[in-house]
Each structure stands twice: as structure tokens, then as C-alpha cells.
A and B are shown apart, each in its own frame.
Chain A
Amino acid sequence: MANNSNGHSKKNLVVIQLSGGNDYLNTLVPYQDGHYYDFRPNMGLRGDDLIPIDDKLAFNSHMGTFKSLFDQDKMAVLMGIGYPEPNRSHFRSMDIWHTAQPTTTSSEGWLGKANSIIDPEGKNPITTVNFGRGLPRALALQGVSVASVGALESYGLYTGLAGASNKDAMLDTISRIYQPMADGGFPSRRILETGRGALDGADLLREAPRTYSSDVEYPEDNPIAQSLKGIAQVMSAELGTRIYYAAHGSFDTHTNELVNHALLWDQLSTALACFLDDLKQQGKGEETVIWMFSEFGRRIADNGAGTDHGSGGAAFVIGDSVKGGLYGEYPKLGLADQLEGDVHFNTDFRQVYATLLEDVLGVESEPVLKQKFSTLDLVRS
């Protein structure tokens, strides 16, 4: 399977995390499989709720953009992705996807580690930019700086400070205090340098929207669209950022699934269409790969109003340089083929990570994943 894993790829990776456990079966629906309707008497999708892609599978009708990407061969759909002995706790399973370590607890994020290899001396404080508050563990590694941005326009110091009439003078003063001096002083050089990096990084990021121009209108009331717009803005500013992260959710559809799941995919489908259009305008289409995953899928059987935590799922790799199509096998749903009420996985997510590391980020995968995984032939160099 190993392809052109020469470690020289310099593409950008955009991660979209579907938080809460996306219902795989109602994302890519096996609409000709009687088992599906047997186990989903209340949550089964039919007719107008489906966009068939072949004589077996259909997308949820709220995934229009995904259908057109699929038709254009720009989207790899990974069916039945997961890991052995699945964990059905949000925390633990998300942690496994974030650290790529299913059997041990680790505090090192796989992308934090990739960042440390891309920028070993930590020269660029915005090699990774996260849209959201607090750091997903995927990006965490001691010594790696990551900017976590709520909104670009307001990113930085004192931006939310009410009533500060003298803000410019305050910022000027703080900037003069964070000047690294000789080693051995107090406060330490490291803290001062970190402050310097934070202030410089914030200045760069806040400037990004001012140099950005685009005809694309991202809907204001769509949070993931706004995050993707921010990513496009940072990309267009050419700041050396390689890893972008955003989350969408919550997909934890224990109840009222038909309404909530549809809304989430509507939002994402619209956001993604805007973003891809924008990438084209910014000339970033070829060099950008999008990775979309969720911490687990959901039970095969519905619970009447929704679905409970399950295992196995669908994930997507999207971009102009992606070799589109269906990868892996759609898991069988019959009772005899189930794993404690869930689908079995057939593709280990770490194979995709290895592929993204080597063929997108140009980073050797083994030191990151602590194991050698064969890559998949998903991305053109």
C-alpha cells in the first residue's frame, strides 16, 4: 500500500473534529440493507432523506456538498474506521484519537508531535492554529506553542476587556515589558520569549483578516463556517501555518436525532462548500487537505428517539489532491456480524494518520505514532 511517502510533502492539514460521536449509519446510509431498517425502526432514513451514490449506499440528504465532492473524486470516504477494542466513553475514545495510543494513556497529541517535527526549534508560534477555546489534546505537547483562537478579529490581549479606554497605551506598555533579556534574569528568559511569541503571533493573526479578500459569504449564524472562514483568512496571509483545527458538534444524538443530526450536517455541508470555494479563490486548493473524524459511531439499533454510543465510524479526507472514492468495506449489520451491538471496524485510523503525516505534512509517521503503519494511497503528491 505504501506509495510516494517521500516525506517531502508540504501541504496544509485542516482537521474538522465532529465532537460527540457522529452516527455513521445515518451519514452514509446502507439504504438497500434490510438489517438497517430492522434495527432503525424510528431513525431509519428513506426516500427524500437520502442522496444515493450507488446501488447500496446513500448520503444523508443534508450532505449535498459531500455528494458533489464525491462525484468530483475529491473525497475519500473511509468506511468502518476505528481501532481494536473500542471504548465508548467520549473522553477516552476522543483521547485515543487525539494521542493515537489506544492501549496506553498519553498526554502527547499526535499533531503536537507533528508540529514539533515540522518546527523543531519552535520558531513559528503559529505553526498550528486552533479555532476554539482550550487546546484539544491532539495539539498538546509540552514545549509546543499553539494559538487557540476564538475569533481572529478579536484575538490577542485585552480584546474582550470592557471599559478599558486606554487600551493602546496599555498594549504598548505590555509589549515593552515582554522583551527577552540575558539568561539568568527574572522573570526568566523563557517566559519573556513566550510572551514575545504570543504577542507577535497574536499581531499576525489579528492582521490576517485585513489582507484577506474573497467573494465567499460564509453564513454568520453557522459556527463551523465561521471557523473555516478564519482558517481561510490565516491561510491567505501566508504565515507559515501548517496545521489548522476546528470542531463541530455536538453529535451526541441520544435524543431528537433526526432533527439535530440533519441540522449539524446542513451547517457543515454549507460551511464546507464556502470553504472549498474560498480555497479555490485563494489558490490553496491543491495544497490543502481536510480531515474529518469523530470519536466513535453509534449503536446500530436506535433507542426510539436517537442512538447511543457505539464504535466504528466514517471519516473523510477531502481536497483537490485527494484520490476520491470509497475506502474500506461497509461493515455488515446482521446480528452475527455485530460487535456488542456495534459495527466492527476494518480500517485502523492510525493508517490514515500515517498517510496524513507523510503525504500531507511531510513528517515521518513512526516517531509520531510510535509504531509503523502502512499508508493508504489517498493523496496525490
Chain B
Amino acid sequence: MTTVARKHEDEAVMAHLLRRAGFGATRDQIDQYVARGYEETVEDLLNPSHGEPEDQDLMDRYFIASVEARSVGHADPQWSWRLATSEKPLEEKIALFWHSLLAVGGIKLDHGLEMLTEIELFRRVGLGSFRTILFEISRNPGMMYWLDNQNSHKDAPNENYGRELLELFSMGIDDMGEGDYTEDDVKTAARAFTGWASKPTPPPFFLGPFPMEFRFDASDHDNGEKSFLGETGNFDGENIIDIIVKKRATARFIAMRLYLYFVSDEPDDEEIERLTDVFQETDGDIRSILRSLFNSDHFKSAAVRFHKVKSPAELVFGAARLTDRFDIPDMDSSLLANQSLFMGQHLLNPPGVEGWHEGEEWVDSGSLIERINFAASELGRVEAPGIRRMIELVELAGDDLQPEEFVEACLDAMGSIDLDNGSKAVLVEHAGQSGSMGSADRIVEMFQLIVSTPDYQYC
């Protein structure tokens, strides 16, 4: 590989990492990351500093109704701002991952404050041990309410949480609906979680929502002996989680979901087995699994690049971040959540306990028109600093570009993205016909065409 080709490949791999571990990066950010080094960047992404962000106070002052938010509609400006501006992109990306996998729907839990509390939970523990994540979500009052655990009593266990914990949150089932556990295990898990519930909160009208609290009611907990996945004892919910997280089925299920979310819509059995091993070797440390995933040759290979359909959130915040236009948390950023909703992903309100169906199912004829129109309008914001910079980068590429060079310069300026040869050929032809390629109008037009391609629907 020549030096130029090497550099180009390094940038392409870095851009790929930032699209998957975050919401994409600008050309200048990619240069900075490349200078820092790939593995160093992976570490930076995996180890975001914790603590309350400096702009929380600013956001609370601008989005007054989102403080102790009553409904999802009041709450989503807060997350929108984070997704559009956070400099810790993997923290938001992993929160979005758990938000879909450990899904609590706003439809039943119409409580904006509690939905935001959950997202904060995922930011806080989402890159840590899977045991901690499962434990915390099992003590999350919103989850307990959502899956009816407050209706689960010692003498009448409700199986909803016990079942979904096994089926959707940890061990999983195969295509035939079979899991490595039995109906008796579901019933036992339900018994073990009796007494785990949310404290009743006063109704929100007219005073606004009250913070929800977890409550363990020992008098309503089944203290009897239980058999679960071959082990016997007086188990409570925490013991159940300890048993679940040691199972290979759990390791494989989480490895699979991480793979589908971060690598490709098409599972690769060998790589998923490898990540399953990492899960078991590290007691389910999500950070270690992702480190291994991002640093693998498989992840860096051209074969998986652009092989994952962007979720609406990835598309919206990816395109919006290119504009670099969010100085203060105003309507501009909060409206981005609406765009995601128009494309089929209502943040803070997943459609059910299964979360969203991802991959190609994101794209239907209605949502595709929304995706293209939104992205094209973002790239048309010629006053935005990010777009001005992109135009400048294309202009710097030379005065006298051939159509093919022009298209390549535009793709590069947009953050080292690429298109399939078929789509690219049509765009090159378009560039050749439209004259005065170097003008800002023509450059923006090419940006808009690029985000309209089927290729751009993938990340």
C-alpha cells in the first residue's frame, strides 16, 4: 500500500469507528483522531469521564419544561441536545443501545422524568459489567412498573419480568422460540423477584411527576426454596441475575446484540463466538468486549463498512452534527427528536419491550422520504459553520477538478465517507453535466445528492 493509500485507509477506518461508536465525525475531527491513533481513540471513547456535564445547568434553563419532565414530549429536548452535541459519543451510543435492548416504553410509563433517569442510568453503567447493568435495571422503578412487577406478589407471582429478563434481556431464544431455560425457570425467576417493585407515586396531574423510587417489600417476597437453571437455594432477584450472567447463552446473546448494533446487520458466527469468549473471560465487562470488537481486524475490514442501516437517530444526529450549528440548547436541537420520530424512532418511547426492529426494517417508503429530505436540508445549511468548512475543504482540493475528483473531494469533506461504484458513477455523471463544479451552490448540491443515495442510508 502506498503512503497515500495508507493514509486514506487510516482515515476511512477512523471515520468508520466514529460512525459506529458515535454519530460520525467531521473531516477535521477525523484528522485529530488519526493523529491520536486508532487504539488510543478507542480507549478515549471507552472511558468517558463521568459526572454531571457542564452544560446541564444551561440546558435546564433553556428547556424549563424538561426539568422533572412530565411526559416524553417534555423530556426529549434533553436527550436531543446530548445526542447532537456530546463530546462523549460512545456514552450516548451505548445508552441508545441499552434503551432499545432493555426497553421501557413511554406509552405505558408516561413519565418523562423517569425515562431520562433511565438514560442516565445507561450512561453511568452502560459500559461496565453486564451484571451491574441487569441488577440496576431490575431495581429501576420504571422497569418494574413497565413489566408489571409491582403486581407480582408472594402468593401470586406475575411472570412478566421473569420471562422478559430471560428471553429479551439475557439468555434469548432461538428462531424456534426455544431458550436454554424452561417454563419452570421463568416461574422461579418470577418468584425470586416478588417484592421488587416501584413505590407508588402520586398521580402527575396537576403537580407534575414525582421521582419514582424502587422499593423492596420483604413481606411480599417469596422466601421459599427455588430451583433455577439447575441450582437450588433461597434465591432472590440478585441471585437469579448472578446465575444468568454466568451462562454461555447470555454471553452469546449480548455478544450478538453488540455485534448487530456496532458491526453489521449480518451476523458473523465466528466473530460472535470470539466476542462470547471475551464476555465469559471478563465476567461480562462491556468495555472489554467493545475494546476487543473495535480493535479487531474484522471490525476494521472494508467488508463490514457501510453494512449497517442507520437508525433514525444515527441518521438525524449524524447529519445534524456535520453542521456544527448547536451553540445553545434551543428549539433547533430539540426539534431533532421530532425528525427521528417522523422516521420511525420515537426516542424515549420504544414501541414495546422488544425495542426497535433494526436493520433494513428501518427503511420504508414513508421514512425514506423523511430521511432524504431531512439530510438534504441539513447539508443545505450554508450558513452553518460545519457546512461552510466542508465547502472550504472542497474548494481547497483544487480549482480545476475533474467530475470524479470533485465527487471524491465532496465525500472526503463530509467525513471520509464512500459510495458504491454504481451510485458514484451516476453522481460523477451529474457533476459532469451541471457545470461550474467549484461554486458553492454546486458543492452543496453534491452534498445533498450524496445524502440522498441509498448508500448513505448505511453507516
Residues of A at under 8 Å CB distance from B?
89-92, 95, 105-107, 125, 130, 133-135, 137, 140, 142-148, 156-166, 169-170, 173-174, 176-178, 181, 185-188, 190-192, 194-195, 197-198, 201-202, 308
Pairwise interchain contact B361-A143, C-beta atoms closer than 8 A = yes
Chain B residues lying within 8 Å of A162, measured Cβ to Cβ, are: 377, 380
- Closest residue on chain B to residue A202 by CB atoms: B369
Complex: A105 Cα to B105 Cα, angstroms:
9
9-residue interface stretch from B47-55, B227-235, B267-275, B425-433 = B425-433
- Closest residue on chain A to residue B309 by CB atoms: A191
- Distance (whole angstroms) from the CB of A344 to the closest CB of chain B: 21
Q: With A105-B352, A308-B205 in contact, is A177–B453 under 8 Å at CB?
A: yes
Complex: A146 Cα to B427 Cα, angstroms:
29
Q: List 28 A–B pairs whose Cβ atoms lie within 8 Å, in order of A's numbering.
A: A105-B107, A105-B352, A107-B351, A130-B366, A134-B342, A145-B365, A147-B365, A148-B366, A157-B369, A158-B373, A158-B448, A160-B373, A162-B380, A164-B380, A166-B441, A166-B445, A169-B430, A170-B448, A177-B422, A177-B453, A177-B454, A186-B420, A187-B420, A187-B457, A191-B309, A195-B368, A198-B366, A308-B205
Pairwise interchain contact B110-A164, C-beta atoms closer than 8 A = no
Chain A residues lying within 8 Å of B354, measured Cβ to Cβ, are: 107
| Among candidates B360, B373, B382, residue contacting A159 with C-beta atoms closer than 8 Å | B373
Instruction: Please tell me if B42 contacts chain A, counting CB pairs below 8 Å.
Output: no
Residues of B at under 8 Å CB distance from A?
71-72, 105-108, 110, 205, 306-307, 309, 338, 341-342, 344, 349, 351-354, 357, 360-361, 363-366, 368-370, 372-373, 376-377, 380, 382, 420, 422-423, 426-427, 429-430, 433-434, 441, 445, 448-449, 452-455, 457-458
- Distance (whole angstroms) from the CB of A181 to the closest CB of chain B: 7
Closest CB pairs A-B (n = 5): A198-B365, A107-B351, A187-B454, A145-B365, A173-B430
- Distance (whole angstroms) from the CB of A317 to the closest CB of chain B: 27
Pairwise interchain contact B352-A192, C-beta atoms closer than 8 A = no
Pairwise interchain contact B445-A174, C-beta atoms closer than 8 A = no
**With A134-B338, A198-B365, A198-B369 given, can you name 17 additional A-B contacts, CB distance below 8 Å?**
A107-B354, A142-B361, A145-B365, A146-B364, A146-B366, A159-B373, A162-B377, A163-B382, A163-B441, A173-B449, A174-B453, A177-B423, A187-B420, A191-B454, A195-B365, A195-B454, A198-B366
Chain A residues lying within 8 Å of B352, measured Cβ to Cβ, are: 105-107
Pairwise interchain contact B353-A164, C-beta atoms closer than 8 A = no
Interface of A is mostly: loop
Q: With A105-B353, A157-B372, A164-B445 in contact, is A194–B107 under 8 Å at CB?
A: no
Chain A residues lying within 8 Å of B341, measured Cβ to Cβ, are: 134
Chain A residues lying within 8 Å of B427, measured Cβ to Cβ, are: 173, 177
Pairwise interchain contact B457-A191, C-beta atoms closer than 8 A = yes
How many pairs of A and B residues are in contact by the CB < 8 Å rule?
A: 144
Pairwise interchain contact A178-B454, C-beta atoms closer than 8 A = yes
- Distance (whole angstroms) from the CB of A199 to the closest CB of chain B: 9
Complex: A174 Cα to B72 Cα, angstroms:
36
- Distance (whole angstroms) from the CB of B311 to the closest CB of chain A: 14
Pairwise interchain contact B110-A92, C-beta atoms closer than 8 A = yes
- Distance (whole angstroms) from the CB of B353 to the closest CB of chain A: 7
- Distance (whole angstroms) from the CB of A119 to the closest CB of chain B: 13
Pairwise interchain contact B364-A190, C-beta atoms closer than 8 A = no
Q: With A134-B341, A142-B361, A187-B455 in contact, is A194–B445 under 8 Å at CB?
A: no
Pairwise interchain contact B342-A157, C-beta atoms closer than 8 A = no
Pairwise interchain contact A147-B366, C-beta atoms closer than 8 A = yes
| Among candidates A146, A181, A191, residue contacting B360 with C-beta atoms closer than 8 Å | A191
Pairwise interchain contact A181-B449, C-beta atoms closer than 8 A = no
Pairwise interchain contact A161-B430, C-beta atoms closer than 8 A = no
- Closest residue on chain A to residue B361 by CB atoms: A142
Complex: A121 Cα to B426 Cα, angstroms:
30
A133, A192, A308 pick with most chain B CB within 10 angstroms: A133
Complex: A48 Cα to B352 Cα, angstroms:
47
Pairwise interchain contact A181-B107, C-beta atoms closer than 8 A = no
Pairwise interchain contact A161-B377, C-beta atoms closer than 8 A = yes
Complex: A164 Cα to B443 Cα, angstroms:
11
- Closest residue on chain B to residue A147 by CB atoms: B366
Chain B residues lying within 8 Å of A195, measured Cβ to Cβ, are: 365, 368, 454
Chain B residues lying within 8 Å of A173, measured Cβ to Cβ, are: 426-427, 429-430, 449
- Distance (whole angstroms) from the CB of B151 to the closest CB of chain A: 13
- Closest residue on chain A to residue B452 by CB atoms: A174
A130, A159, A198 pick with most chain B CB within 10 angstroms: A198
Q: With A177-B426, A191-B457 in contact, is A169–B434 under 8 Å at CB?
A: yes
Complex: A181 Cα to B437 Cα, angstroms:
30
Complex: A74 Cα to B430 Cα, angstroms:
56
Chain A residues lying within 8 Å of B376, measured Cβ to Cβ, are: 157-158, 161
